[in-house]
Chain A
Amino acid sequence: MTEPIIKIENVNKWFGDFQVLKDINLDVSAKQKIVVCGPSGSGKSTLIRCINRLEEHQKGTIIVDGTELSENTKNIEQVRAEVGMVFQQFNLFPHLSILDNCTLAPIWVKKMPKKDAQELAMKQLEQVQIADQANKFPGQLSGGQQQRSAIARALCMQPKIMLFDEPTSALDPEMIKEVLDAMVNLAKGGMTMIVVTHEMGFAKEVADEVIFMDEGMIVEKAETKEFFANPKSDRTKLFLSQIL
Chain B
Amino acid sequence: MNSLNFLKSNKQNFYYFLYLGLFFFSISIIDVAINAFLKINITSFLPGMLSIFLPLILGFIGLNFIRTEYSGIKSLDIINKNINTNNFNAILTLLIIFAIIKATPPSLSWMIFDANISGDTKEACTGTGACWTYVKVWFRRFMYGMYPNDLHWRINLAFILVIALGFFGFFLRDNLKKYLALYYVIIYPIIAFLVIYYLISGGAFGLVWVETGAWGGLSLTFIVSFFCLIFCFPLGMVLALGRRSNLPMIRYISIGYIEFWRGVPLITVLFMSSVMFPMFLPEDFFMDKLVRVIIAITLFEGAYCAEVIRGGLQALPRGQYDAAKSLGMGYWKMHIFVILPQALKLVIPGICNTFLALVKDTPLIFVVGLAELAGMLALAKTNPKWLGFAMEGYIFAAIIFWIICYAMSKYSYNLEAKYKTER
Q: Do A and B come from one complex?
A: yes
- Which B residues are CB-close (under 8 A) to A89? 317, 319
- Which B residues are CB-close (under 8 A) to A91? 317, 319-320, 322-323
A30 to B60, CA, bound (A): 83
A140 to B328, CA, bound (A): 26
A104 to B329, CA, bound (A): 10
Chain A 85-99 interface residues, beta-carbon cutoff 8 Å to B: 85, 87, 89-95
Q: A139 to B323, Cβ gap below 8 A?
A: no
Q: CB-CB contacts of A105-136 with B at 8 A, as 1s and 0s? A: 10011100000000000000000000000000
Q: B328 to A137, Cβ gap below 8 A?
A: no
Chain B 318-365 interface residues, beta-carbon cutoff 8 Å to A: 319-320, 322-330, 333, 337-338, 341-342, 345
Q: CB-CB contacts of A146-180 with B at 8 A, as 1s and 0s? A: 00001001100100000000000000000000000
A150 to B320, CA, bound (A): 12
Q: How many residues in A have their beta carbons less than 8 Å from beta carbons of B?
A: 32
Q: A93 to B338, Cβ gap below 8 A?
A: yes
In the complex, residue of chain B having the shortest beta-carbon distance to the beta carbon of A150 = B323
Q: A80 to B328, Cβ gap below 8 A?
A: yes
A52 to B330, CA, bound (A): 13
A153-B341 contact given A94-B422, A139-B422, CB 8 Å threshold: no
For the complex, is B82 an interface residue (Cβ under 8 Å from A)? Answer: no
- Which B residues are CB-close (under 8 A) to A153? 327
Q: CB-CB contacts of B87-117 with A at 8 A, as 1s and 0s? A: 0000000000000000000000000000000
For the complex, is A54 an interface residue (Cβ under 8 Å from B)? Answer: yes
A89 to B423, CA, bound (A): 12
Instruction: Give chain B nearest CB distance to A101 CB in angstroms.
Output: 9
A105 to B422, CA, bound (A): 22
Q: B330 to A73, Cβ gap below 8 A?
A: yes
A108-B337 contact given A94-B422, A95-B421, A153-B327, CB 8 Å threshold: yes
Q: CB-CB contacts of B127-158 with A at 8 A, as 1s and 0s? A: 00000000000000000000000000000000
Residue pairs across A and B with CB atoms within 8 Å: the count is 76
A139-B423 contact given A91-B319, A95-B345, CB 8 Å threshold: yes
- Which B residues are CB-close (under 8 A) to A157? 327-328
Q: A87 to B322, Cβ gap below 8 A?
A: yes
Q: A109 to B333, Cβ gap below 8 A?
A: yes
A91 to B338, CA, bound (A): 11
Q: B422 to A140, Cβ gap below 8 A?
A: yes
For the complex, is A83 an interface residue (Cβ under 8 Å from B)? Answer: yes
Q: A95 to B341, Cβ gap below 8 A?
A: yes
Q: B330 to A105, Cβ gap below 8 A?
A: no
For the complex, is A84 an interface residue (Cβ under 8 Å from B)? Answer: yes
Q: CB-CB contacts of B395-423 with A at 8 A, as 1s and 0s? A: 00000000000000000000000010111
- Which A residues are CB-close (under 8 A) to B322? 49, 54, 85, 87, 91
Instruction: Give chain A nearest CB distance to B11 CB in angstroms.
Output: 48
Instruction: Give chain B nearest CB distance to A161 CB in angstroms.
Output: 11
For the complex, is A206 an interface residue (Cβ under 8 Å from B)? Answer: no
Instruction: Give chain A nearest CB distance to B176 CB in angstroms.
Output: 15
Instruction: Give chain B nearest CB distance to A145 CB in angstroms.
Output: 14
- The listed residue (B326, B333, B341, B422) touching A52 by CB distance below 8 A is B326
Chain B CB within 10 Å, residue with most, of A90, A91, A92: A91
Instruction: Give chain B nearest CB distance to A100 CB in angstroms.
Output: 9
- The listed residue (B323, B325, B329, B419) touching A92 by CB distance below 8 A is B323
Chosen A-B contacts, 13 in total, with CB atoms closer than 8 Å, are: A54-B322, A54-B325, A73-B330, A80-B326, A81-B328, A84-B326, A85-B322, A89-B317, A95-B342, A104-B338, A109-B328, A109-B329, A110-B328
Chain B residues with a Cβ under 8 A of chain A:
317, 319-320, 322-330, 333, 337-338, 341-342, 345, 419, 421-423
15 more contacts with CB within 8 A, not counting A93-B323, A105-B327, are A77-B328, A78-B328, A81-B327, A87-B322, A91-B317, A91-B320, A95-B421, A104-B337, A110-B328, A137-B421, A139-B421, A139-B423, A140-B422, A154-B327, A157-B328
Top 7 A-B pairs, shortest CB-CB distance: A139-B422, A81-B328, A91-B323, A105-B327, A91-B319, A85-B326, A80-B328
